[in-house]
Amino acid sequence: MIVKHGALNQWVKEITEWCRPDAVYWCDGSREEYDRLMEQMVASGATTKLVKRPNSFLFRSQPSDVARVEARTYISTSKREDAGPTNNWIAPEELKATMKGLYDGCMKGRTLYVIPFSMGPVDSPIAKIGIEITDSPYVVCNMHIMTRVGTKVIEKLGSDGEFIPCLHSIGAPLSPGQKDEPWPCAPMEKKYISHFPEENLIWSYGSGYGGNALLGKKCLALRIASAMAKREGWMAEHMLILRLTNPEGKWFHLAAAFPSACGKTNLAMLTPTIPGWKCECIGDDIAWIKIGPDGRPHAINPEYGFFGVAPGTSYDSNPSAMDTLKENTIFTNCALTDDGDIWWEGIDGAPPSHAIDWKGRDWAPGGSEPAAHANARFTAPAAQCPVICPDWEKPEGVPIDIFVFGGRRASVMPLVHEAFSWDHGVFMGATASSETTAANIGAVGNLRRDPFAMQPFCGYNMADYFGHWLTMGDRLGRHAPRIFYVNWFRKSPEGKWLWPGFGENSRVLKWMCERIEGKVGAVETPIGFMPHEGDLDLTGLAIPAADLKELFRVDPSAWKAEAADIERHFGQFGDRLPARLRKQLDELRRRLG
């Protein structure tokens, strides 16, 4: 590969001298390259080729390296207050000194791979180019699926194009003759996932897993991109993108933010249960949004694949995802069946009588531990999704009509409500909350505020991020999308699910679209607009009247407690919190009485 970019060649030379690999390899993004690396990993015992799924493989991680490590993730800015209270901060000089010591000789005995990748279609005006250096062939193969890798990116970069340098090492140098581990990584105390937004720079060390190692994903596409977006006047959001088509053939484009493992991928690949409605997936995780020449916000999916949570995915919950995973897929921390297929809790059918669990041990039903890790993943090409939108790679993106926020709440939050205004919608996003899941390391089931589903991913002070949303609304004016909040997870006081979810969620989306068109009205409540009785299409659903009432119940006392918790949440931002959000909280309290 001929690389004419002087700064890029120099950077690779510096990192090579620093990390001291045995070899340097520039990735061309070809199928031959992918197949060769996979064959090498099969031969080394790092992965298992799946008999039942063409060109698909199962990896098992080291048990301490199974998820994003938020406690070891840093936003390193010159001033601590620019990182804000929701991010871990270390001064750039101190963090770089620590990590330089770790990187010194860290790739001995290994190959240094240079991965040129584009986030977004290579020719999109919204796309950005990154270069990831890694010593993990697992990372190379995942990046092949998750991003656009190879020679086209180098050609686009030319001799002086802008790129985001992303340095990654698993942190496990090999001595001569030393046998490698199936999943090499460093101990937890040596893991660092570090971002330097003032330099558009990412350094990651010690983990080979997911967002810690696939640096195009959360690191670039959200943490660094969010800081770039604020400076440049666009938006980098943790949002799925979905096209809805009504029976008359009219399109609506929706971008929705949910914390990990809260049904986001299921919604992105929704199969509507309402006759005549159609959904098509544009993206399942990240949206980059710029104001187009028409004054409307246009969104692209910067990714090229899906990195989804496997447990709970089934033909009942997400048939489109299941069809996507039939071939060309990387599975991580799933169970292996005796006939050479993968298995996880919640997949269709009865569990196998015997399997090899995610730790490589014999497993049978009824044991004390699950067969698949709760955060087990699949990496699959988006183009394989049967409901992928024909315009998913449209360089200029699609115009967004609706923003949706949500989370996993057993109580308090109704099924759906609509913001009174853009500022009120930003308030809804800024106060979004969810019960924690296995996608991040920490206690499961605790309630935490996760503003815009961006708390782990915002690359600068979150109060300034709220301010950026307000500013974008001012710029969009009459073109600003309408904002809604949903909660598919409300339960009865006895703990019973009140809403069937999955494909039935299309009924809620239909109401949103009809609100945009002015076809249905709404009831004004203290927390926002909610459907009139009869306006939510429940044809064919047998939901008891009492359950429906509970689904939409707004309990003033519970909401007063919610307001007090929001007050505490806002308090961490001090005088950096936009006054317009403080006003929204005051108005909520006034409406509650």
What the block records as the tokens of 155 is 């050609």
Residue type, 326: K
Model confidence at 437, in pLDDT bands (50, 70, 90)?
Answer: low
What the block records as the tokens of 130 is 């990154």
Q: Residue 406: enclosing H or E segment and its boundaries? A: strand 402-406
Report, as an integer, the average pLDDT of 32-61: 98
Contact 407, 259 (CB under 8 A): yes
Q: 159: helix, coil or strand?
A: coil
Residues of the chain with CATH 3.40.449.10: 6-41+70-233
Residues of the chain with CATH 3.90.228.20: 236-304+391-592
**Mean pLDDT across the chain, nearest whole number?**
96
Report, as an integer, the average pLDDT of 313-341: 97
Class of domain 236-304+391-592: alpha beta
In CATH, the number for domain 306-384 is 2.170.8.10
Residues of the chain with CATH 2.170.8.10: 306-384
Contact 280, 512 (CB under 8 A): no
Beta-carbon contacts of 471 under 8 Å, excluding residues fewer than 6 positions away, are none
DSSP 513-537: HHHHHT-S--EEETTEEEPPTTTS-
Using CA atoms, how far apart are residues 253 and 401, in angstroms rounded to an integer? 5
Model confidence at 441, in pLDDT bands (50, 70, 90)?
Answer: very low
| Fold of the CATH domain 6-41+70-233 | Phosphoenolpyruvate Carboxykinase; domain 1 (3.40.449)
Q: Residue 183: enclosing H or E segment and its boundaries? A: none
User: What is the torsion angle, in degrees rounded to the nearest 10, for the CA atoms of residue 400, residue 406, residue 412 and residue 418?
Assistant: 0
pLDDT in tens, 63-121: 999 999 999 999 999 999 999 999 999 999 999 999 999 999 999 999 999 999 999 99
pLDDT in tens, 136-171: 999 999 999 999 999 999 999 999 999 999 999 999
Q: Among this protein's residues, is 262 annotated catalytic?
A: yes
Torsion sign, CA atoms 104, 109, 110, 111: positive
| pLDDT(439) > 60 | no
What the block records as the tokens of 190 is 């040596």
Is the pTM of the predicted complex or chain greater than 0.85? yes
Contact 551, 415 (CB under 8 A): yes
Beta bridge partners of 192: 205
Using CA atoms, how far apart are residues 419 and 39, in angstroms rounded to an integer? 52
Give the active site residue among 27, 262, 458, 513. 262
